[in-house]
A and B are shown apart, each in its own frame.
Chain A
């Protein structure tokens, strides 16, 4: 029986039998639909990608104000398109390890201060030139220059000097950083000829697709680049197209009627409906992004750790996850890291909703009167509901919360990082060190919980320079415990990226780094015949 099924599944993979017929035959043979589907998926994988055709994505997050310059990529559409035409030095694999692209190998000296990146020899730019170490240096120089307004400026500030050495680039850092390869995985650092200094908007790099159409806020198109250096892995379709569809209903309809093959940002509240559409697969990926409630540790009344603890214990995370995210996420533990990060410290006890303990700490804090919590629709989808839910669970613990709904305009300039208790979001970072360095050290501009502890800063720097993974993991555990029990951060949940693919789309690889398989969905998927 299984032999027959296997034979049939290969026929489907080759396009000689329809999927529906296959499932019908499988059911007749007494195999459950789930088992038949997984058999089919492995057969399709084994048959290898189908080349050719046009893959279309309908994506949220594009404006007519966008430009191609990768330094300025902030929107989802630009991010996804840059993964089609751009090539990076390295990127991260779904398991958190480093995937080497233009850099063939990255090694450091013993104390992680000098890093040598060996540049692959056979990589060609779309304009026919070969990628050289000089192009790599020029790219990093441009992004490290304030004038480029690059979003990667911050992560390049630790570089002291760069020089080419044969086919390698040698980078000397100001301070030790064991995470240097992860810094190079930043999606803004697309390698361009002469670093893009001549024309940052030219859209020329060494990715699997050449830029063919660039209509900001409307659509983008890529034409297969014949000399792509690893065409066996990426770039199966002949053309890729991105249509900017910011309205969620229109996006779903476009997928349903087959006008696009994949979409991003399916809203949690409609996932169960989208799932039922025939041929559509929900691709939900646990990411590193989270939705925090931020308290300023240096501002009354939140400068009192007993009050902070009471507020943490009064959070009903499970209910919050079910109600606001419909279960599409995972529960947080009041530190900004989850198991999607490399070197995640396991075994830290989960903080639960505990009305008695919350009451105890609240009484101990000596605080009385209501506490003002600011929220807005732009903080994250469902942020207003989340604040109201929290108000109710706090009421059960005898804590009065006053919810203030702020206008979305100006929320990031006037409320977030300015007011002592508010809702926000963080997209997560490739490594724990980057997350802590961005928002939880004394000198960080975006220290949105005013967590200013010299002892903690020291731990961050120590862990950053530690090349021994076990020791490093232990340090991260200590840091997590400290944040969890003393920090100003309440993390009810980490979110998921919820994408969806349509009929016949194969090869989607989930990656916790970002939505749409870290932006590679268009390049790594193919249309089954």
Chain B
């Protein structure tokens, strides 16, 4: 079968894998040129020269860099993430726990924000330039213009402290009942939703409005279809590629860009984990986290590309 579609998709996947390798090299080099020294950072102000020398030796920091890179990569491919330098424990279980937490929060933030933003976008198109459209635009632009930590503090102040509806300490842990866990992430998920809403909603609105100028929409109008029917059945499917793109970008943000929200709501996700280990120069953990973030980002972008290809009728039905 010589379907151009399969070829294009395979190309995307291949490119993503190559990109991921390139990123792994960049991450490795980047962590090597960080200022300061792992041993020194672990010991902090309490470091004596002998203690630093001992620690460097026991951490294997005296090996050449390319050897350490190959070891690291080999370990990753066989599922061994290595041991953290700072506490000597295997990275895998800790990291997996944090990743699960991050994905849990990202999932709920996405589950609220993606449908909400698309529906708001559709409504805005339906009432183009009317009061409702302007309201939606103004509100979402307001929330995206506020820095995420400020939104977080506002939510804490009004909803957690003044009203006492939800907790501002979103610590989740293993064995926590599902509903309790859900309750704990309400505020951070709300904050994230407010941050990502505007971009997706504006893109939905713009993309659909663009399609609304086409001849076939005019035809549909002349057929006497209802306005919302036209938007949903005729305009939206043709505008879906750019919308998917922006949705994926925002999903990626929900996973890799939420460290500030995590700190404010005391949520044990990947961001805080990464920051702690950067501060301690715990290079293996930083590398692993960096690569996971890169994989999420590249993966979601790849999905966006593939969906865009699949949703393009000219590619689906070649001549």
Contact in complex: B45, A256 (CB < 8 Å): no
Could you tell me if A410 and B35 are in contact, using CB atoms closer than 8 angstroms? yes
Q: Is B116 an interface residue (CB 8 A)?
A: no
Q: Is B87 touching A250 in the complex (CB atoms < 8 A)? A: no
Contacts of A245 in B (CB 8 A): 169, 266
- Closest CB-CB distance, B274 to chain A, in whole Å? 9
Which stretch, A62-70, A115-123, A323-331, A475-483, touches the partner chain B?
A62-70
Min distance, Cβ B80 to any Cβ of chain A, angstroms: 20
User: Is A350 an interface position by the 8 A CB rule?
Assistant: no
Q: Does B264 reach chain A (CB closer than 8 Å)?
A: yes
User: What range describes how many residues of A lie at the interface?
Assistant: 35 or more
Q: A120 CA to B110 CA in the complex, in Å? A: 59
Chain A residues within 8 Å of B171, by CB? 218-219, 243
> A40-66: contact bitstring with B at CB < 8 Å (1 yes, 0 no)?
000000000000000000100001111
- Name the residue on A nearest B153 (C-beta): A249
**Is the C-beta of A202 less than 8 angstroms from some C-beta in chain B?**
no
Question: A253 at the A/B interface (Cβ < 8 Å)?
Answer: yes
Contact: A58 with B169, CB < 8 Å? Answer: yes
Most chain B C-beta atoms within 10 Å of own C-beta, residue among A74, A250, A410 = A250
Instruction: Tell me if A216 counts as interface (CB < 8 A to partner B).
Output: yes
* Residue among B169, B265, B276, B280 with max Cβ neighbours from chain A (10 Å): B169
Instruction: Decide: B268 and A65 in contact? CB cutoff 8 A.
Output: no
Q: Given the known A-B contacts A243-B266, A250-B265, A260-B169, are A412 and B273 also in contact in the complex, defined by CB atoms under 8 Å? A: no
Q: Among the listed A67, A218, A409, A410, which residue makes an inter-chain contact with B268, where contact means beta carbons less than 8 Å apart?
A: A218
Decide: A65 and B84 in contact? CB cutoff 8 A.
yes
A146 interface hit (Cβ, 8 Å):
yes
B-contact bits for A232-245, CB 8 A (1 contact / 0 none): 00000000000111
B94 at the interface (CB under 8 A from A): yes
The residue in A65, A67, A246, A413 that gathers the most chain B C-beta atoms within 10 A of its C-beta is A65
Residues of B within 8 A of A410 (CB): 35-36
- Contact digits for B77-100, partner A, Cβ 8 Å, 1 yes 0 no: 000000010111100001000100
Cross-chain pair count, CB within 8 angstroms: 98
Per-residue contact bits, chain A 192-217, to B (CB 8 Å; 1 contact, 0 not): 00000000000000000000010111
Q: Is A110 an interface residue (CB 8 A)?
A: no
Whether A254 lies near B169 (C-beta < 8 A) is yes
Q: Confirm or deny: B173 has a beta carbon within 8 angstroms of a beta carbon on chain A.
A: yes
Q: Is the CB of A409 within 8 A of B173?
A: no
In the assembled complex, B55 has its CB within 8 A of some CB on chain A: yes
8 Å CB contact of B161 from A64, A256, A413, A445:
A256
- B268's nearest neighbour on chain A, judged by CB, is A218
A455 CB-CB contact with B under 8 Å: no
Among candidates B45, B46, B86, B264, residue contacting A249 with C-beta atoms closer than 8 Å? B264
- Minimal Cβ-Cβ distance residue in B for A427: B45
Q: Which residue of B lies closest to A69 (CB)?
A: B87
Shortest CB distance B259–A (Å): 11
The verdict on A160 contacting chain B, using a C-beta distance below 8 Å, is no
**B24 on the interface (CB 8 Å rule)?**
no
Q: Is B272 among interface residues, defined by CB-CB distance under 8 A?
A: yes
Complex Cα distance, B279 from A74, in Å, reads 14
Closest to B45 in A: A412
Residue A90 lies at the interface, judged by CB distance under 8 Å to chain B: no
Determine whether A184 belongs to the interface, using a CB cutoff of 8 Å to chain B.
no
Q: Which residues 229-273 of B sit at the A interface, judged by CB distance below 8 A?
A: 263-266, 268, 272-273
Tell me if A247 is interfacial: C-beta within 8 Å of chain B. Answer: yes
Give B165 Cβ to nearest chain A Cβ, in Å: 10
Instruction: Say whether B169 contacts A259, CB under 8 Å.
Output: yes
Residues of B contacting A243 with CB < 8 Å? 169, 171, 266
* Chain A proximity mask over B179-215: 1 for CB below 8 Å, otherwise 0: 0000000000000000000000000000000000000
Query: How many Å lie between the Cα of A445 and that of B50 in the bound state?
Result: 11
B102 within 8 A of A: no
Q: Cβ of A228 < 8 Å from any Cβ of B?
A: no
Contact present for B276 and A64 (CB under 8 Å): yes
Give bound CA distance, A185 to B45, whole Å: 21
- The residues of B that contact A253 with a CB separation of less than 8 Å are 156-157, 160-161, 168
Contacts of B54 in A (CB 8 A): 146, 149
- Contact among A65, A250, A257, A409 with B36 in the assembled complex (CB-CB below 8 Å): A409
Q: Is the CB of A67 within 8 A of B87?
A: yes
Given contacts A243-B266, A409-B35, contact A65 B86 (CB under 8 A): yes
Query: Chain A's nearest CB lies how many Å from the CB of B253?
Result: 20
Determine if B280 and A63 form an interchain contact, defined as CB atoms under 8 angstroms apart: yes
Within 8 A of B (CB), among A385-425: 407, 409-410, 412-414, 416
Mark interface residues in B48-64 (1 if CB within 8 Å of A CB, else 0): 11010011000000000
Q: State A306–B280 Cα separation when bound (angstroms).
A: 41
A217/B35 contact (C-beta < 8 A), A74-B44, A250-B266, A257-B164 known: no
**Which A259-281 residues sit within 8 Å CB-CB of chain B?**
259-260
Asked whether B36 lies within 8 Å of A413 as measured between CB atoms, the reply is: yes
**For the complex, is A311 an interface residue (Cβ under 8 Å from B)?**
no
User: Is B37's CB within 8 Å of the partner chain A?
Assistant: yes
Nearest-neighbour CB distance to chain B for A344, whole angstroms, equals: 25
B184 to chain A, nearest CB (A): 11
**Contacts of A63-108 to chain B: CB distance below 8 A:** 63-67, 74
Is there an interface contact between A64 and B277, defined as CB atoms closer than 8 Å?
yes
A64 to B272 CA separation, bound complex (whole angstroms): 8
- Does A151 make an interface contact (CB < 8 A)? yes
Question: With the chains together, A67 CA to B42 CA distance in Å?
Answer: 13
Q: Mark A113-141, 1 if CB is under 8 A from B, else 0.
A: 00000000000000000000000000000
B113 proximal to A (CB < 8 A) = no
Point out the residue from B41, B161, B265 that lies within 8 Å of A257, measured CB to CB: B161
Give Cα distance in the complex from A257 to B167, angstroms: 8
A111 to B184, CA, bound (A): 61
**In whole angstroms, how far apart are the Cα atoms of A247 and B264 in the complex?**
6
Does the CB pair A254–B87 fall under 8 Å?
Answer: no
Closest chain A CB from B82 CB (angstroms): 15
CB-nearest residue of chain A to B281: A409
Partner of B37, one of A247, A254, A413: A413
Q: In the bound complex, do residue A215 and residue B268 qualify as a contact, i.e. CB atoms below 8 Å apart? A: yes
B 263-306 to A, binary, CB cutoff 8 A, 1 in contact else 0:
11110100011001101101000000000000000000000000
Q: Which 4 A-B residue pairs are closest in the complex by CB-CB distance? A: A65-B86, A63-B276, A218-B268, A410-B36
What are 23 pairs between A and B in contact, CB < 8 Å? A58-B169, A63-B280, A64-B272, A64-B276, A64-B277, A65-B84, A65-B87, A67-B89, A74-B44, A217-B268, A217-B273, A217-B276, A219-B171, A243-B266, A250-B169, A250-B263, A254-B168, A254-B169, A256-B161, A259-B169, A410-B35, A413-B41, A445-B48
13 more contacts with CB within 8 A, not counting A64-B94, A67-B87, A243-B171, are A63-B276, A64-B98, A64-B273, A64-B276, A65-B276, A67-B89, A217-B272, A219-B171, A247-B264, A250-B266, A412-B40, A412-B45, A413-B37
